[in-house]
Structures are given as C-alpha cells and as structure tokens.
Structure 1
Amino acid sequence: MGIPAAEVYDVLRRRIILGEFLPGSQLKELALAAELGVSRSPLRAAFKRLTDDGLVVAEHNRGVFVAPWADQDNDEVFDLRAAAESHAAGLAAARRQPEHLQQLSALNERMDHLITRKPDDFLAELQQVNRQFHLVVLQAAKSPRLLAFVQSLLAVHRVTGAFYYYTDEQLAESLQDHRLITRAIERRDSALAAAIVDTHIRGTAERLKLQRQPALRAPDAGPPAMRA
C-alpha cells in the first residue's frame, strides 16, 4: 500500500533535507511513483512545490534534479548558526532550569544507545535526537527571537543531514561534544558552553564541505555512516 497522495511532498522534502538524495541527483518520476505507491499526478504536484521551495530544479527535456548546494551557501548558514547557537548556549548556562539538564542528559543517553547499538534506521532517529538537543539548548536560553531565527536556519536545505556522512569516530566525537556542552551549561559556565558550541557547529560545516569534494572520497562510495 502506498502513502497518501497528500504526504508525497512531505516525504520527498524530508528525504532531501536529510541527505538521502544528494545534490545534483535526479528524482526519477516512474521509479518514485512505484516506490511510494502513488500515481504520477501527486508526484508532479510535489515536484512543483519542491521547485518553489528551491529544493529541486526542473530541467526541460531532462527531468527533476536535487538543487546544488554551494560552499558559499554552506559557509553562510553555518557561520550564522555558530554565532547564534553559541550565544544561545551562553544564555542557557545562565538561565537553564533543572528540567533542561534532565532533557539534555536523556538525549545524550539516547544518542549513545543509537551510536552503540545501531538499530534499524538509526541515522534518521539520530538526526532527530541531535536536532532536539540543540532545540533544548535554545529553549533553555529563553529567547524566543533567537529560537525562531535558528529554527529558520535549521530548516534550510541540507543543513540537517550531516550524520549521513559521519564515520563512527565522528559520531562519537559529536556525542562527546554534546556531553561537554551539557556539563558547561550545568556548571553555568557561559563562556565555555558558547566556545564548545561554536567549535561543534563549525566542525559539522567542515565535514559537510569535505563530503562534497569527490576527490577525497573513493569512487562510488556511499556516505561513511551509511556504510558502517
């Protein structure tokens, strides 16, 4: 049984943002219609919405392709994230409540479980846990404007799919960063919390930049974490 026609757009958008469809790859209409169990009409409607979003480009007589993502775009988004989220972490260290620490610790434990056990589709859940961790830090900062600004950045094309390109070692490093951030917030060390978050986010940006350089990867190799 296929998915409801109304959900085709949401499914494709999520898969693009998570990095399952790489920049420049073609979204083949017939294959996707068969995979999703839908007719071509809702698929074409979804393509139109994705084009309006800037997530795909339609080329005459060629088809629909995932939009490219330039280094300049990546650098700008991550520079803004690093500045905003490091500031939020500093505020969180000063303003956090016990429930924020409990939530951060629970998310760290869940992340540890996913990285260690690797259950089915663990990378997709890992993305959600990671996103929730950063959201809790923002909530602890108690700045609605800052929260809204960062959420607009997190919704940007391909910013949230980083874990699909991480090695096991890099996943462990990301978890360690989260634990250090939690500890700094717990100790109300605003300067340290801000510094760790800044380094953490800029490290993610560098990994994504390296992933997009084909010469640094083996031919036909999938993302490291997908191969693990």
Structure 2
Amino acid sequence: MGRAAQQAYDSIKSRILDQVYRPGDKLSEEDLAATVGVSRTPIREALRRLHAEGLVDWAANRSATVPSWTGQDLEEIFELRALLEGYGAELAAARITAGETDRLRDLCSVMEQHAAVPASDRADRVAMCNTEFHAIILEAGRNRRLSALLGAVVQTPLVNHTFRRYDEAAMARSMLHHRELVEAFEARDRAWAGSVMRAHILAARATLGHARKDQVA
C-alpha cells in the first residue's frame, strides 16, 4: 500500500473506530478525498482494504457505508475471538519469553491504574493498553496465519469500544482475567491460559449483549 493510500486508510479507519463515521453513514469517495487531502485513487485502495477487514461495506463505483452490527454479528465476532484467541493463548503459554511476560505484567498494572480513576477517558486508556496486551499474546504464539485470521475480527467498532460499555464489576473482572493470564503464561500451562482467554472474551460478549438490551429497553 502506497503512502497516500496508507494515509487514507489510517484516517478513515480512525474516524470509524472513533465513531465520527457511525453505522449507516455513507462515505463518498469525493468527500473522503477532500477530508483526507488525497486523490480518489488511494481512497479506493483504502476502502478496498477496509472492506476486507469488515469496517465498511463497499463495491467499486458505489459509495461505501459504515456497517450496522446486529446481535447475530456480535455473537459471531465474539465466538470467533474466543476460539482463535483461546488457541493463541495456548500457543503463547508454550512459547512466550520472559520479556513478554514482564511487559504483560506491566500493562496489567497500568490498566488497573486507569480503571481505578473515574475519568471521562478511562475506557479509552484501558482499551489502548488492552490492545497491546492482546497483541503481545498473539505475537508470543509465533503463528503468522493465526495473526492474519484475527486481524479482521478484532478491528471492528464493537470490539474496540467494548470498554466503554463496562460497569465497575465488568471492569474489575477483566483486570482479574489479565492477571490470571500472566500467571498461566508463567506456569507454562496451555490449558489454563486457553480457558482463561476464552472466559475473558465470552465475558466481554455478555457485557456488550446486556448493554445492547438496555439500550433497546
């Protein structure tokens, strides 16, 4: 991907994940080109990649649309994450380095500090550390194909905004899961690591599911 296309990709993706562009919004190539400051050719290349990742619905010569996620989408995304990231945790338990476990432990501490402060951007701060936490585990598994499979799944707006839906109990549970994952990695226990990761992902699914029901009620 060329520099202009990468710039367009980063800009559009950021606006989708930050919900500047919301589900159902139409994104015309002309408007996007003016916003990003590039021509329409790199915009098309960026949209093609975003479409492959599930972040936009798009076809050539048509406006892109930010997809609306249904309850079924939510179930499918988190079921896939539980399966794939659970397996990734099992691989990591056998292959992770001491330096990687040290970094995970540090991230646990930082996330706990952010979670303890009721600031308006608390969720975003925790989510940023959480992204690195999961990326380290995936990298520690040393399986490039698994990384590719997870790439599209974990980059959806629903997943990136999970922590904005957490109440205090859900946040505390998530922090405990992170700590237990580090313990499982230090013990080199594949079954333990995999089971905790699956529980961690499915707990996030339940939290989002409850939040969606509350919004409808």
Give the structure-1-normalised TM-score.
0.71
Change (3 A) 1:43 1:210: farther
**Residue pair 1:127, 1:163 contacting (<8 A) in 2 also:** yes
The equivalent of 2:35 in structure 1 is 42
In 2, Cα distance between the equivalents of 1:56 and 1:92?
A: 32
Letter in 2 for 1:131: T
Secondary structure in structure 2 of the residue aligned to 1:100: helix
The equivalent of 1:32 in structure 2 is none
Residue 90 of structure 1: how far off its partner (Å): 0.9
The equivalent of 1:152 in structure 2 is 152
The equivalent of 1:189 in structure 2 is 189
Q: Structure 2: which 5+ runs fail to align?
A: 1-5, 27-31, 59-63
Residue 94 of structure 1: how far off its partner (Å): 1.2
The equivalent of 2:198 in structure 1 is 198
Cα deviations across residues 193-218 of structure 1 (Å, max 9, x unaligned)? 100101110111122222222xx249
Q: Structure 1: which 5+ runs fail to align?
A: 1-5, 28-38, 59-63, 220-228
In 1, Cα distance between the equivalents of 2:18 and 2:189?
A: 33
Cα deviations across residues 171-226 of structure 1 (Å, max 9, x unaligned)? 1110111001111111111111100101110111122222222xx2498xxxxxxx
**Residue pair 1:16, 1:158 contacting (<8 A) in 2 also:** no
Secondary structure in structure 1 of the residue aligned to 2:159: coil
The equivalent of 2:96 in structure 1 is 96
Residue 8 of structure 1: how far off its partner (Å): 8.1
RMSD of the TM alignment (CA)? 3.4
Cα deviations across residues 43-88 of structure 1 (Å, max 9, x unaligned)? 797x989976465679xxxxx9753101222211211111111111
Residue 152 of structure 1: how far off its partner (Å): 2.4
In 1, Cα distance between the equivalents of 2:79 and 2:120?
A: 33
**Residue pair 2:154, 2:160 contacting (<8 A) in 1 also:** yes
Letter in 1 for 2:201: I
